Amino acid sequence: MRRLLPVLMLLLPMAALADAVHLRIQGSNTIGAALLPALVQGQLWAQQATAIEQSPGAQANETVINARDSQGQPLRIDIAAHGSSTGFSALGSGEADLAAASRPISDAEARQLKALGDLRAASAEQVIGLDGVAVIVHPDNPLPQLTTRQLAQVFSGQVQRWEQLGVAGGAIHLYARDDRSGTFETFKALVLEPHHGELASNAQRFEASDELAERVSADRQGIGFSSLAAVHGAKVLAVAEGDAPAMLPERALVASEDYPLSRRLYFYLPANAKPQAKALAEFAQSPAGQSIVAAQGFVSQQVNALAVAPQSDMPPRYRNLAQQAQRLSVNFRFQEGSANLDNKALRDVQRVADYLRQAGKLQSKAVLVGFGDPKETPGRAALLSRLRAQAVRRELARNGVEVLEVTGMGDELPVAGNDLEQGRLRNRRVEVWVY
């Protein structure tokens, strides 16, 4: 019996671990490095959990969080942040209960994971925050901005010296995220592929944005791209797409998704998701969760009213709005090839309604302004932009909002070029203005 006692003592912690509520999350390093642990801890505090401890996992970019729930039962959350694609792979193999991604699921991934349900359904695909892919250089670099075409030329190796961009500096050193990264997938989709470029073979690759930004900040000849939350001491360049003005990844421009390299941060849940996974996703969507998103350097989805300075080149109707009203920080966007609101917009309807309710402006205080891309038929762009605004009006009405006015401005005031489909999609939007 005495010999059995040490063995039993060793087995007790293993038995406790087996009975622990266990949540496994894999995917994006952008989300998993700091934001995801902060969200997990925030949710645990909200649930009155105790003994919350965070420790490194077995490998770099992995985290383990242990706690006890309000009933004293053990909880364990494992986070592996090796890139967005690894999250979808882990969902498919049953090694993850929730995938974190800094890019949307691809068609191929959605097909491969169809046994888990429709991962593009609103309940499965949840936008938990916004980010801008920031183009960064050394703090002493005098270059102010680049177009997406110039970025494609630089990162594909067609432009190899800073002098070709109008500044001194010699050879350009390229820094990029690795192939598993959602940040790289976003940059590839928004910059390289539209201009038929591939990343140059001499680019230095990184699993983590933090390390990449540190290297660029120390290299006077360096240029890279990272999450907005991981810029640190590097200089951020403004980015222009097509004929649209160059924009910095300022929070207001990322919140409205007008910044050319804006992106969404996602949780993906299978149809039979664990209650703990559903609870974490709901917490991330809540005001408390969105406050954590902002505190971690990303852009929250909480609605704010912003003053817009009137400009002489604005259309008269729009300039009057800028003089008399404020623009809300959210833009409504639509499913590709459809007048139906996308998953983020469906959540934003509730956020806008809550904001107007708290501000006492549910009745005849909001104006919806629709925009679109050019069409060959005269007047069609204006008609389609108004129809998009009407679709938003119907959804808001279901939430008790009576809109004062709906207008369609067609292809005026583009935020992106219309040469490429991605630009046309970004120009199809509905703004909300409030008196």
Question: What pLDDT is stored for residue 244 in this prediction?
Answer: 87
Regarding whether 365 and 328 lie in a shared domain, the answer is yes
151-181 burial, b for 16+ CB within 10 Å, e for fewer?
A: bbbbbbbebeebeebeeebeebbbbbbbebb
Whether residues 312 and 404 fall in one domain = yes
- 273 CA to centre of own chain: 22
Statement to judge: residues 108 and 158 lie in one domain: no
In this prediction, residue 136 carries a pLDDT of: 98
Q: Say whether both 310 and 268 belong to one domain.
A: no
Pair 247, 270 in one domain? no
DSSP 396: H
Residues 114 and 160 placed together within one structural domain of the fold = no
In whole angstroms, what is the distance from residue 146 CA to residue 312 CA? 25
Is 309 found in the same domain as 426? yes
Pair (175, 277) in one structural domain:
no
What number of helices (H) and strands (E) belong to the chain?
15, 18
Block residue for tokens 């006492």: 360
Write down the pLDDT at residue 350.
96
The Cα-based distances of 263 to 133, 148, 205, 254 in angstroms read 7, 15, 21, 8
Cα separation, 127 vs 104, in Å, equals 10
pLDDT mean by block of 10 residues, the chain; 435 residues: 50 49 95 97 97 97 97 97 97 98 97 98 97 97 97 98 97 97 95 96 95 97 95 95 92 96 97 97 97 97 96 95 97 87 95 98 98 92 95 97 97 91 91 98
For residue 34, what are the domain limits?
A: 4-128+264-295
Give dist(CA 351, CA 345) in Å, integer: 9
Tens of pLDDT, residue by residue over 89-121, are 999 999 999 999 999 999 999 999 999 999 999
Q: Domain tally for the chain?
A: 3
Are both 251 and 269 inside the same structural domain?
no
CATH of the domain at 192: 3.40.190.10
CB-based contact 358:406 (threshold 8 Å): no
* Whether residues 106 and 167 fall in one domain: no
397 with 422, same domain?
yes
- CATH number at 398 reads 3.30.1330.60
User: Are 425 and 390 in the same domain?
Assistant: yes
Q: What's the confidence (pLDDT) of residue 335? A: 87
**Who's near 289: CB < 8 A, 6+ residues apart?**
39, 42, 43, 128, 283
- Determine the pLDDT at residue 193: 96
Q: What pLDDT digit, counting tens, does each position of 283-302 carry?
A: 999 999 999 999 999 999 99
Within 10 angstroms of residue 45's Cβ, the number of other Cβ atoms is 13
Burial track 376-410 (b if 16+ CB lie within 10 A, e otherwise): eeeeebbebbbebbbbbbebbeeeebebeebbbbb
261 three-class SS = coil
> Residue 420 has what DSSP assignment?
S
